[in-house]
Amino acid sequence: MSEDIKKAEAGTAKSEAEKLAAFKASKAEAAKRFKEKRAAEKAERIEKSKKLIAALQKQGVWDKLSAEDRAFLEGLAVPTSAVAGSTSLFNVIYGASPKVGDKKTLMEIFQLTQKGKSQIDAKVKDWAKDGKVVTCKIDANNILNSVYVIEKL
């Protein structure tokens, strides 16, 4: 009789392991489907935004929009990898609606971000790749008074 109990217990353990494996597999499959659905929705959103921009340009309305509105629409048409709710360092420094000519001193930037000059200079290079030109005007007397100016958005 004890052999029958051992076999039953072994069968139950195996059954539980199979159930757990099946649950993990279904969970992984659901996560994969969700990720694919999100990617498709993102691609569709980007495509629609690009079509809207093209239509506005074709109708001659694009040039009549403010720079802020154009930047917003262009932002919709560019895929991002930012996490929802996160803010880019550029927006932390210059705010949600930066304008050409906006200035921040190195000290102000440090107080906002806790990042030093070398880290900010590296970000300035990254921003240039995205078409945002920021220049640094060095103050020879006090480096903390050096000014970062937006030249182009």
Residues 69 and 136 both lie in one domain: no
Residues 54 and 103 both lie in one domain: no
Domain count within the chain: 2
Residues 95 and 53 both lie in one domain: no
**Per residue in 37-79, pLDDT tens?**
988 988 888 888 889 888 988 999 888 888 888 878 887 777 6
* Beta-sheet strand order (sheet of 147-152): 103-105, 147-152, 133-137
CA 61 to chain centre: 29
State which residues form the domain around 10: 1-81
**Per residue in 97-134, pLDDT tens?**
889 999 999 999 998 888 889 999 999 999 998 889 99
Residues 119 and 140 both lie in one domain: yes
Q: How many CB atoms lie within 10 A of CB 5?
A: 9
Residues 27 and 93 both lie in one domain: no
Name the one residue in this structure whose structure tokens are 């969700």. Answer: 34
Domain end (from 81, 98, 120): 81
With left for phi above 0 and alpha for psi between -120 and 50, is residue 139 left, alpha or beta?
Answer: beta
Residues 56 and 1 both lie in one domain: yes
What predicted TM-score, i.e. pTM, was given to this entire model? 0.45
Residues 149 and 104 both lie in one domain: yes
Give me the numbers of helices (H) and strands (E) for the chain, helices first please: 5, 3
Q: How many CA atoms lie within 13 A of 39 on its CB side?
A: 6
